[in-house]
Amino acid sequence: MRSIRIQSAGVLLFLVTLGVGVFSAEFSLFAADWPTYRADAQRSGFTTDGLPETLSLHWQSQTAHAPQPAWPRSTRLTYDRVNHCVIADGRVFFGDSVSGKIQALDLSTGNPLWEFFTEGPVRFAPTVWRDQLLVTSDDGQLYALRAADGNLLWKHQGGPRAEMVVGNERVISKWPARGAAVVVDDVVYYAAGIWPSDGIYLYALNAKTGKEIWSNTDSGQIYMPQPHGGANANSGISAQGYLTVAGDHLLVPAGRAVPASMNRLTGKFEYFHLQKNRAQGGGDTVVAGELFLNSGVVFKAADGEAIAKSAGGPAVALPDGLVEANKGKISRYQWVETENPDRKGKLVRSKGLKQIWTVKQTHPSAALIVAGNKIVSGSKEFVEVLDLESGKQLWSTAVDGVAYGLAASRSQLVVSTDQGHVYAFGRTTEVPASRDSQTKQAAKSPYPADSAAAQAAAEIIERTGSNKGYCFDIGCGDGALAYELATRTQLRVVAIESDAEQVALARQKLTAAGVYGSRVMVLQRPLDQTHAPNKVANLVVSGRSVTEGGSGLPVQELKRLQRPYGGFICYGKPGKLKSEQRGAMTGAGEWTHQYADAANTLCSNDKLVNGQLSMLWYRDFDFVIPSRHGRGPAPLFSEGRLFHEGNDGLIAVDAYNGHELWRFEIEGVLAAYDGDELMGASGTGSNYCLGGGFVFVRHEKHCFQLDAATGRLVHTFEVPPSKNPEAEKSRQPWGYIAWHDGMLIGSAADPRHIVAYRYHATTGDMTKQLTESNRLFAFDTKTSKLKWQYESEDSIRHNAIAIADEKLYLIDRPLAEFDRTKESRRNPIPKTAQQHPTGQLLCLSIHDGYVLWRNKEDIYGTMIAVSAENDALLMSYQPTSFRLSSEKGGRLSVFNSSTGEKTWEAKANYSSRPLINGKTVYAQGGAWNLKTGKPQPFNFKRSYGCGILASCENMMFFRSATLGYYDFNKNSNIENYGGVRPGCWINAIPAGGLVLVPDASAACSCSYLNKSWFALETQTVK
């Protein structure tokens, strides 16, 4: 098979030339029902069952809360923007992404028939097979329910174990079942797991019994090309979206990427063309015979090769053509037979699409289906029906929200919106008497106001101060304590109970109270084996203990859940509560400055991160960050808090569960970094740091001192006046920033020295990316008083300042004037023009600025780092892929940090910023003993990665296509945590016993499978 793309608009969209055979389309046509998402296993969006030309509202219902999408900002992962409905046997079925319920309504009246609780958000439409309803949940299960009454027939666990994580702000399975079920030939297919490195599990089951026919459990671990050219990683498929069938090909949606294909009969992996389609993927897959459409591209189902582009909007595959909407237009195309010459001039028969008509829309389509000879378009606050033959509008109506969900059956149209509404429209002559059978009801508390649970909740809050984050109620009883805590605080409560009757009662009462799902979720588990994630709970309580006391509680399980750095356990009867607060984790490192510490070691000294990594939490934030090519400052960590900076401010996050703590707005603070191919923090250094329980953020001529726990502004420092009258004519901006031993160190940046970074484009602002200063100063943060200033003889590069053990080290050196000249590969700066005189290396007392020693002998370096424990100072270059012209590389030197005497020097071919880990210097290209300079074994080689290396005691982290990590103890091959794109400098930091990875992929269109903030922990064998 080969393809020919025709460019003439309005005639043929594309042609597919078949070497042999005749074009065939597989459509599972249901004369009366809409049994699965988009009607059939091909997700065609087409049914032969028609609709009347005019419709009337028969009924409407509304869920207690609007749907909560997993990825609300994503334009690719859009599967759960509404609660999609299916229709069968006179019933409407849908799941709920808030409560985790599956519900059945009467199609004629909208009256509720039954409901079934899963233990996680239900993000996909069910599938009806005969008398069964098959539905997946974020709890990792595929459920088979009897369609008539919702009774459980069987269920199947997708992941290998019952472990849970905090995923998308919910406590869910580590392997959520987000590969939505599809049924063909009495076999149901589904998938669990979205993070390749934790495992992706695909199944074919007997639809009647749930017995496995085949399973594919190794497609997450495939060494394969990643979206960037030349980038390879051990990172296979994901599973997020609706599984789709094209003949014997099972198309598995791979999150933000194009679908992968498995052999439907055997489960064998067939193809996943990720790198070839580096900027495509996500959304619905629609099968049209031997082709499928995804993200505006037409692919051959046989081999997954892209052959043409489509309009890119919602589409419906018809037996004789295609209907597609995009950019305010709907068009209909029809398959036609043609003959076209192949490459050798031989005429071969072809199938192509001929445009029949196109019409403009007042309300652009967000969703599209075809029912008989009618097109139904859903849009923002509007639904319309068009004639399939002419495109003429026949009927329209207003709705509340965006009508992403459409289904048609028995001459009725069911519409669901992103506000939680479900509407049923039908013949005007068949309007039922009651049309508002399930409107939203006001919540009423089923719990007594003066109960023991209310007293206990008040006492717990007063004693612990817990107000935000995650609370686990172990032994929740009827949910009374969970309810009281949810209504008095902003805590999200996970209530766990072993007694099935109590679980059902708690769910019933909490639903009536209007907090179920949105604030409280009840899970049935043994109390001593909750399978909840480690160390994520800000508060652990027990509803049972309020009346029974704490005897018999699994205290060790409670402690396992307790968050370090302040998490509370509190249980017992009112007035006799027992409480315990957890402190810092022994061996947990911090990352308080751009390069881990003020010493620039690039090593957090965390001793706990060690071994294979696994997911702890993941989520997205509505927080705008600079373009990944702007190389913004690194994230920071201290005392259980993760800090990350965006274009207009700073955000603080609970490092152990991803809960947002606070934000501090500084308009435009990183606007200069928001662009392509900029130098960014690689040259400027960071603009913020941590120390003494504070966050210090410099912006323009100021530095804000914030309370790290609350984000409250404590003090604002100003760049102090210079003793030099010329410099003082224009107050300089704040440049370097660091904190050490109660001292805030800053510098007055030189605004005249603007490097012409050789790759920078017209975006961003290089005039504010300053790399050199001519004055250092120090403030005492307790008194806010200026302690001292140091005026440079020449200039101080920000990368050439390091602080350790109450000493500040710097290189005072003439400017590299040629860094101001923009160069390229075609127009390099001549070597004769690259003259950079040496300077002097100095050591100052941090408390008074007194010069303790200086060394003027061949001080060539552009960066320094210090190891106080080894009494060693490293001088080198920063010769990364995006280096300045002065970063020559090829040389390393180490000095005695107490005396300034050179200890050793080596020629070295390295291509990253060197780091100091214990007694070893590591860089991409080699390792050396810090004391002697002797080369050390270092079997390190990574795939494509533009960032630098960041380490802790046992491991090192970096970009290697996806996130790469290296175990120093193994000293062997790198490993990957796949499916995600790290940033272009530092954004994976090992600290607090975790690997913390805020999103740093802004402005990247590449189809990495997931785009997320996340935290990894060392995997424990269970």
Query: Is the pLDDT at 777 greater than 80, yes or no?
Result: yes
Q: Is the Cβ–Cβ distance between 640 and 992 less than 8 Å?
A: yes
Mean pLDDT of 807-819: 97
What's residue 826's pLDDT? 82
DSSP 8-state code for residue 424: E
Where do the H-state alpha helices sit in 701-809? 725-728
Query: Is the pLDDT at 27 greater than 70, yes or no?
Result: no
Query: Is the pLDDT at 439 greater than 60, yes or no?
Result: no
Query: Is the pLDDT at 7 greater than 50, yes or no?
Result: no
Least confident of 56-65, 427-436, 620-629, 911-920: 427-436
What's residue 22's pLDDT? 30
Q: Which residues, other chains included, contact 160 with Cβ-Cβ below 8 Å and sequence gap of 6+?
A: 175, 199, 201, 217
Confidence of residue 16 (pLDDT cuts 50, 70, 90): very low
Confidence of residue 440 (pLDDT cuts 50, 70, 90): low
What's residue 430's pLDDT? 87
Least confident of 523-527, 644-648, 755-759, 777-781: 755-759
Mean pLDDT of 903-920: 97
Confidence of residue 729 (pLDDT cuts 50, 70, 90): low
Q: What is the pLDDT of residues 194-219, one digit of tens each?
A: 999 999 999 999 999 999 999 999 99
Q: What is the pLDDT of residues 85-136, one digit of tens each?
A: 999 999 999 999 999 999 999 999 999 999 999 999 999 999 999 999 999 9
Query: Is the pLDDT at 23 greater than 50, yes or no?
Result: no
What's residue 833's pLDDT? 87
pLDDT-above-90 percentage for the chain: 87
Query: Is the pLDDT at 683 greater than 70, yes or no?
Result: yes
Mean pLDDT of 236-248: 97
**Largest separation between any pair of C-alpha atoms in the chain:** 97
- Chain-centre distance of CA 602, in angstroms? 25
- Mean pLDDT across the chain: 93
Tally of helices (H runs) and strands (E runs) in the chain: 7, 76
Q: Which residues, other chains included, contact 734 with Cβ-Cβ below 8 Å and sequence gap of 6+?
A: 698, 699, 700, 701, 702, 703, 719, 746, 747, 748, 749
CA pair distance 118, 100, nearest whole angstrom: 5
**Kind of pairing, strands 249-254 and 257-263?**
antiparallel
Confidence of residue 30 (pLDDT cuts 50, 70, 90): very low
What's residue 435's pLDDT? 54
What's residue 761's pLDDT? 61
Mean pLDDT of 674-695: 95
Q: Is the Cβ–Cβ distance between 250 and 237 less than 8 Å?
A: no
What's residue 759's pLDDT? 65
Q: How many CA atoms lie within 13 A of 584 on its CB side?
A: 12
Confidence of residue 614 (pLDDT cuts 50, 70, 90): very high
Residue type, 157: Q
Q: Is the Cβ–Cβ distance between 996 and 637 less than 8 Å?
A: yes
DSSP 8-state code for residue 240: B
Q: For residue 416, count other CB atoms closer than 10 A to its CB.
A: 30
SS3 per-residue string spanning 513-568: CCCECCCEEEEECCCCCCCCCCCCECEEECHHHHHHCCCCCCHHHHHHHECCCCCE
What's residue 728's pLDDT? 58
Q: What is the pLDDT of residues 936-951, one digit of tens each?
A: 999 999 998 889 999 9
